[in-house]
Structure 1
Amino acid sequence: MTTAPWKTPYWPEGVPHEIDDYNMPLFQLLDDAARDYPNQAYTIFNDATRSFAQVKETADRIANFLHAQGIRKGDRVAIFLPNLPHYPAVYFGILKAGAVCVTCNPLYTPGELNYQLNDAGAKALFCMDHPQFYDTAGKAIRDTSVETVVICNVKSYLPWLKGFLGGLLGKIPHAERHAPGHLMFDDVLAGADPAPPEVTIDPMEDLALIIYTGGTTGRPKGAALTHSNFVYDLKGLDAWARLVHEEGGSPEGIRRGGYHCYLGVLPWYHSFGMTCAMLSACASGSRLVCVPDPRAGDPPFTEVLKLVQKHRPTLMPAVPTIFVAFTNHSLLDQFDLTSLMGCFSGGAPLPPEVCKRFEEKTGAVIFEGYGLSETAPVVTANPTFKDTRKIGSIGFPLPGTVLKILDAETGQTELPQGEDGEVAICGPQVMREYWNKPEETAEVFREIEGNRFFLTGDIGHVDENGFVVITDRKKDMILVGGFNVYPREVEDILFTHPKVALVAVVGIPDEKSGETVKAFIQVNPGETCTEEEILQFCKENMAGYKRPRQIEFRDAIPVSAVGKVLRRVLRDEESKTA
């Protein structure tokens, strides 16, 4: 596939239009970092660090262990862990064994986890030594193919004194009892050689990961992604990021070998946190702060603010609700957050007002991007400079990625620039298929001009300057009396109200207009607000058909484990009360 340069006068200077050299196994990133920066810290957890050389050795031992357990190329191994320092070693160890990672949300119920393990056909599982997580895993593996369970205790990666005192005082979480045959992580490492099996990987064809979508349209589907899907995305992000590292300096790529520190505030089971924090830190030889629970502290998110002040991270990928939590934190002014240089926003649309507030309070620059679980995940990104980005847009396609706007009915006809349609993607980061779901796979792919395009389900357009703008999810669009209302547009306006902390807009049935707009609002701490106040604000700031007819105030807006506002949950609640 050949691509032409994206048509825009704002393409970042120094960024190529093509990316090559991504035909390599994903675990080679760790091997290269361990070779080039063996003593450089990779993970930071409770003041304990693990170097790239140490993580590589652990990954090699895990690969050796899995091979001894009968795990072979193409077999699936599940990870049921929060953001612990075990995670990168387990992840790369699975890949070094030739197996496929299946990353699982640690907040899953037994039924949800059981479905995923069965659907993927997982043969082994790594889980946390914790009363809740281990109990969930024990129930979930019943009637599955899982034969090997490895239990990971946090004591393995605590400084000696903290580990000793924590064990003495009973502060280290652990399950009360372990089932016979389940193995402890430390014992596994002690009994395995640091010699991974010899496995031949075809990066373009062999799977590295099966990651499950949120299931907003039914049962979750497993997006099956290859090694090269991720390597391309990492190389594309590396080429895209242009940062000024010293005052008065010139823009340059991300510095390597420990200059940068990533804040691992997003979960690594999710493709955004996985690629843009855990894997990106490895690819650049950078430090990675492990944050198992970003909401920890009183008030929530206090502990993560302490980590920012202590470890001075420079880069933070996050979703908009994280930026909201930072800017609305009652103790924010007590912490020094000036180390943050660049923040990559994704996972959900970034309201312009949220971007403005965060940058004013921290001095960092937020560059918004766009992606999906099916695309490893990054597809587009804004320039990393305030003077050339466009807030409210998702920027331009990564080098080597082709983006088209197609008609939303058939997904076959390309629409003129400026016209809204379904966003379709063709590029090296696009998944191979939905795992064991050929019909669902066929539904989301179209062949156009000899290339295979993935239909994203998102509605958007390309503006006059070449910036891609997501209008909304196709299924979230509200039809009011024949007019299209995009929830994101209404939410962006409501976010400018000084009392609004978080907002979600959905369509509800209406006899006269077919649908009408309802807004769910969470106000800033310490504020009070009335329905009349919001309705008057809407009257002054948006067209009549877009205005919410109903306002409901909530103490909390439902969000997913990665911080996405769950409009579908609100719609489901509305349908039950109708």
Structure 2
Amino acid sequence: MVATSWPTDRWPEGVAADVDTSEYEKPLFNVIDEAARDYPNQVYTIFNDGTRTYAQVKDTADRIANFLASAGIRKGDRVAIFLPNLPQYPAIFHGILKAGGVCVTCNPLYTASELNYQLNDSGARMVFCMDHPQFYPTAMEAVKNTSVENVVYCNIKSYLPKVKAILGSLLKKIPQAESHDPSHHSFDDIVAAARPEPPQVSIDPAEDLALIIYTGGTTGKPKGAALTHVNFYYDLKALEEWGRLVHEKGGKPEKLRKGGFHTYLGVLPWYHSFGLTVCMLSAAGSGSKMICVPDPRAGNPPFSEVLKAVQKYKATVMPAVPTIFVAFTNHPDIDKYDLTSLMGCFSGGAPLPPEVCKQFEAKTGAVIFEGYGLSETAPVVSSNPTDRDARKIGTIGLPLPGTDIKIVDLEIGQSELPQGEDGELAVSGPQVMQGYWNRPEENQAVFRQLNGRRYFLTGDIAHIDENGFIVITDRKKDMILVGGFNVYPRDIEDILYQHPKVQLVAVVGVPDDKSGEAVKAFIQVKPGEQVSEQEIRDFCKQNMAGYKRPKFIDFRDDIPVSPVGKVLRRVLRDEEMDQKSE
């Protein structure tokens, strides 16, 4: 693909149309090796004032690889990471890859049965978990009846400044499990005993897997997206080419400066591809600092600790999901914090309501650029230009350099539709996964050959507008059919977000005798505010067509969101179905 072939006159100035294959056809662990070579003494991770340099993280990754090889991990073996955003995470991640292993990243909030499913499905032989009264026992239970042979537990004590570690131990504030299975390994012990000499493993970056990331399982059991080294390395290089920020007042947009100029806020979980690629790996790719945030909701009121971290460590780059931006703008103490260090914020994972974007930028001065991706695409597929003048709010931007997108028919996904017409978004590029792990029938359902190229059917309904920007209309499965009219939940949600008292909203379709389906809106009101059902109905009457207006309105204290921050429409929809069946 070349920039001129995409139907737009808004391609960002200076951005190449493609990425040189020599830039990304490498083992993914080259990211940490090259950062340690170029910026050995530059701080990489920041955690409760404790820091680790790139040279230190590489040294630890090499030791972990050495340990894994001695424990019998061979090329292609799966190793699970069941951790929040701890400073050990990058070294563990790269250490597994250096040993030739395949990372299986797991949600640390999973129950034992959910984790057990992933360990069994992936065939993981080892798991890294946190030394913690909740996480460690969960892992202990989850490894039963699996292929897991070794468990390594990680304690945060050794990653704290010495004074904090001593005080934490004395006051018993450092979390740890009540007891440990004697057959399990302490992370600190294995790192101390191993040599910084990874095994020599031959990696084919385009064919060998780097990760198996499990999708949310909205249509059944979670599926493992099997991703290669190239999938992630390409995405890093494409984002590096795409990203432009104004680094000084009055300056022109330029590529992100390297070698410690930037500080990334690790508020997204790294077990998810969005946080992994756009924060943990991107920070290393530019030799930047990164703030480890295991729990973004920490503090009283919630999210206070992350606001303190932005102010204290002068975070400049924040990849986040819309619910994080909502939490910031509605925090009762936001005006007490200096957040002006923030320069660029990448929004993804869910549609960004324009009103949320407007409010966040007004309060922080940062620029938000919305993009789009999936677990199956490592994850970024498209992005808005990264400056205010070129972006188009309410769209997911343009394809990344080297990525091609088509809008195809909703029935079989084989015919390309004209510009402006809604259809299923299909993507082709070096970031598209190898396929679902051990799911040949699923792969057959989601891949198509179009004009000699392999495309992945995303399940999202979209069109390309008159300026060449891609507009997501909605998830195919979320579309509501009201009396023959197609109603897209995002349409209604975007309007409801404009109401000054609405904090979070989710819209689903529910069965209706008259119209087949009806619209139901779940609304979480901003703290301290009150709003009546009639007020919402009047607002809807003024702002949307009759068939779109919610027939049912349900006020909730909390609307369910995933650990990544996506509003979980399916949970609300399932609740409705359960009530109907009773």
Q: TM-score range by the shorter chain?
A: over 0.9
Aligned to 1:189: 191
Aligned to 1:308: 310
Amino acid at match of 2:62: D
Q: Quick one: distance in 2 between partners of 1:247 and 1:81?
A: 39
Work out the number of aligned pairs and report it: 578
Aligned to 1:54: 56
Contact 1:3–1:401 (CA under 8 A) maintained in structure 2: no
- Of 382, 400, 403 in structure 1, the residue corresponding to residue 402 of structure 2 is 400
Alpha-carbon shift at residue 156 of structure 1 (Å)? 1.6
Superposition map of 1:417-436 within 5 A: 417-436=419-438
Superposition map of 1:293-442 within 5 A: 293-442=295-444
Alpha-carbon shift at residue 387 of structure 1 (Å)? 1.4
Q: 1:176-197, CA deviations, whole angstroms, 9 ceiling, x for partnerless residues?
A: 0001210001100111000000
Q: Does 1:95 align with 2:84?
A: no
Q: Quick one: distance in 2 between partners of 1:158 and 1:295?
A: 21
Aligned to 2:12: 12
Superposition map of 1:146-225 within 5 A: 146-225=148-227
Q: Quick one: distance in 2 between partners of 1:375 and 1:169?
A: 45
Alpha-carbon shift at residue 277 of structure 1 (Å)? 0.4
Amino acid at match of 2:510: I
Which sits farther off after the overlay, 337-346 or 384-393?
Answer: 384-393
Alpha-carbon shift at residue 5 of structure 1 (Å)? 3.4
Q: Quick one: distance in 2 between partners of 1:385 and 1:267?
A: 26
Contact 2:2–2:17 (CA under 8 A) maintained in structure 1: no
Amino acid at match of 2:387: F
Q: Secondary structure at the match of 1:392?
A: coil
Amino acid at match of 1:34: A
Q: Quick one: distance in 2 between partners of 1:16 and 1:264?
A: 28
Q: Quick one: distance in 2 between partners of 1:177 and 1:6?
A: 59
Alpha-carbon shift at residue 2 of structure 1 (Å)? 7.8
Aligned to 2:146: 144
Q: 1:239-291, CA deviations, whole angstroms, 9 ceiling, x for partnerless residues?
A: 10111111122211010000000000000000000000000000000000000
- Of 546, 549, 552 in structure 1, the residue corresponding to residue 551 of structure 2 is 549
Distance 1:330 1:2, change over 3 A: closer
Unmatched 5+ stretches in structure 1: none
Superposition map of 1:28-107 within 5 A: 28-107=30-109
Q: 1:115-139, CA deviations, whole angstroms, 9 ceiling, x for partnerless residues?
A: 0000000000000000100000000
Q: 1:488-531, CA deviations, whole angstroms, 9 ceiling, x for partnerless residues?
A: 00000000000000000000000110001010000111000110
Q: Quick one: distance in 2 between partners of 1:538 and 1:343?
A: 30
Superposition map of 1:392-541 within 5 A: 392-541=394-543
Contact 1:381–1:395 (CA under 8 A) maintained in structure 2: yes
Amino acid at match of 2:368: I
Q: Secondary structure at the match of 2:536?
A: helix
Amino acid at match of 1:18: D
Q: 1:531-564, CA deviations, whole angstroms, 9 ceiling, x for partnerless residues?
A: 0000010000000000001111000110000100
Contact 1:352–1:392 (CA under 8 A) maintained in structure 2: yes
Amino acid at match of 1:319: V
Q: Quick one: distance in 1 between partners of 2:77 and 2:562?
A: 29
Q: Quick one: distance in 1 between partners of 2:15 and 2:254?
A: 10
Unmatched 5+ stretches in structure 2: none
RMSD (Å) for aligned C-alpha atoms: 0.8
Q: 1:196-226, CA deviations, whole angstroms, 9 ceiling, x for partnerless residues?
A: 0000110000000000000000000000000
Q: Quick one: distance in 2 between partners of 1:354 and 1:170?
A: 40
Q: Quick one: distance in 2 between partners of 1:151 and 1:5?
A: 51
Q: Secondary structure at the match of 2:144?
A: coil
Q: Quick one: distance in 2 between partners of 1:182 and 1:519?
A: 48
Distance 1:323 1:561, change over 3 A: same
Contact 2:47–2:160 (CA under 8 A) maintained in structure 1: yes
Amino acid at match of 2:157: K
Q: Quick one: distance in 2 between partners of 1:135 and 1:201?
A: 35
Q: 1:83-138, CA deviations, whole angstroms, 9 ceiling, x for partnerless residues?
A: 00000000000000000000000000000000000000000000000010000000
Contact 2:253–2:387 (CA under 8 A) maintained in structure 1: no
Amino acid at match of 2:10: Y
Q: Quick one: distance in 1 between partners of 2:198 and 2:255?
A: 33
- Of 242, 264, 267 in structure 1, the residue corresponding to residue 266 of structure 2 is 264
Q: Quick one: distance in 2 between partners of 1:523 and 1:64?
A: 52
Contact 2:3–2:11 (CA under 8 A) maintained in structure 1: no
Amino acid at match of 1:144: T
Q: Secondary structure at the match of 2:125?
A: strand
Distance 1:276 1:508, change over 3 A: same
Contact 1:42–1:50 (CA under 8 A) maintained in structure 2: yes
Q: Does 1:128 align with 2:130?
A: yes
Aligned to 1:559: 561
Contact 2:103–2:210 (CA under 8 A) maintained in structure 1: yes
Q: Quick one: distance in 1 between partners of 2:96 and 2:5?
A: 37
Aligned to 2:573: 571
Contact 1:3–1:402 (CA under 8 A) maintained in structure 2: no
Q: Secondary structure at the match of 1:317?
A: coil
Amino acid at match of 1:374: E
Identity fraction in percent: 73
Alpha-carbon shift at residue 169 of structure 1 (Å)? 1.3
Q: Quick one: distance in 2 between partners of 1:128 and 1:414?
A: 48
Q: Quick one: distance in 2 between partners of 1:250 and 1:538?
A: 41
Amino acid at match of 1:105: N
Contact 2:3–2:16 (CA under 8 A) maintained in structure 1: no
Amino acid at match of 1:440: E
Q: Secondary structure at the match of 2:134?
A: helix
Amino acid at match of 1:63: A
Q: Does 1:249 align with 2:268?
A: no
Q: Secondary structure at the match of 2:190?
A: helix
Please give the TM-score of this superposition, normalised by the length of structure 2.
0.99
Q: Quick one: distance in 2 between partners of 1:280 and 1:13?
A: 22
Amino acid at match of 2:48: N
Alpha-carbon shift at residue 4 of structure 1 (Å)? 6.0
Q: Quick one: distance in 2 between partners of 1:293 and 1:254?
A: 27
Q: Does 1:235 align with 2:231?
A: no
Q: Secondary structure at the match of 1:44?
A: strand
Amino acid at match of 1:508: V
Alpha-carbon shift at residue 3 of structure 1 (Å)? 8.1
Amino acid at match of 2:255: G
Contact 1:5–1:17 (CA under 8 A) maintained in structure 2: no
Which sits farther off after the overlay, 341-350 or 240-249?
Answer: 240-249
Aligned to 1:109: 111
Q: Secondary structure at the match of 1:106?
A: coil
Amino acid at match of 1:406: V
Q: Quick one: distance in 2 between partners of 1:322 and 1:249?
A: 28
Amino acid at match of 1:15: V
Which sits farther off after the overlay, 154-163 or 2-11?
Answer: 2-11
